[in-house]
Amino acid sequence: MKSKIYFLAASVFVFFFFISCSVQRVSKIVQHDIKSGMTKEQVVSLLGKPYKVAMASEKDVTYDQLYYKEDIWTGRTYVLTESILSFKNNVLVKIDQGQERMEGDTTIINK
């Protein structure tokens, strides 16, 4: 009887393990609900350090762009995506999608 229970428990574990492997991942921006109006500090605390930063200033206004790259599993392959987050006076005002390409491919899908 115990062996049947162990077999059933192991079968359920294996089933859910393989099901979870096929779930599509989403971008960290979507996962963490990053939206306009958030501060740069809030965004960095959720997404981590960007791989690239661009800054500019004009009179009393500062402009920053944070660049993030991540691999997203689509269910069949990985897609390398780039997101560009634009800030005005440390407040998020715009999120753009940069380059996107499939793993192992050097062709850019979107720019």
90-103: per-residue pLDDT in tens? 999 999 988 777 76
Has this prediction a pTM greater than 0.75? no
Note every long-range contact of 56-63, with CB atoms under 8 Å and residues 24 or more positions apart, other chains counting. Answer: 61/88, 61/89, 62/87, 62/88, 62/89, 62/90, 63/87, 63/88
What φ, ψ does residue 88 adopt, rounded to 5°? -125, 120
User: Which pLDDT value is given to residue 83?
Assistant: 93
Per-residue pLDDT for 24 more than 50?
no
40-82: per-residue pLDDT in tens? 999 999 999 999 999 999 999 999 999 999 888 877 788 888 9
